Amino acid sequence: MLDKDILEILVCIKCKKSLSQSHDLALDCKNCNISYPIRDDIPRLVESEIIDHNG
């Protein structure tokens, strides 16, 4: 898991709200209902990497 101090400074690039980590390989924005992948312990907070759960 990411260090919680790092997690605290990461925000969603769309809504700027804080992210939560449900498992090792993704960060979730519950506000937008999207996830950002984590690869090699690096959160990929870029538009092109977003996993959209809104259908």
- Considering just the CA atoms, what is the radius of gyration of the chain in Å? 10
**Piece of the chain touching Zn ion by CB under 5 A; list 2-10, 11-19, 20-28, 37-45:** 11-19
Residue selected from 14, 23, 30, 53 as contacting Zn ion according to rule CB under 5 A: 14
Site stretch for Zn ion (CB under 5 A), options 2-10, 14-22, 37-45, 47-55: 14-22
CA distance 18 to 26: 14
Using left for φ > 0, alpha for ψ between -120 and 50, and beta otherwise, residue 40 falls in: left
Q: What residues line the site for Zn ion (CB under 5 A)? A: 12, 14-15, 29, 31-32
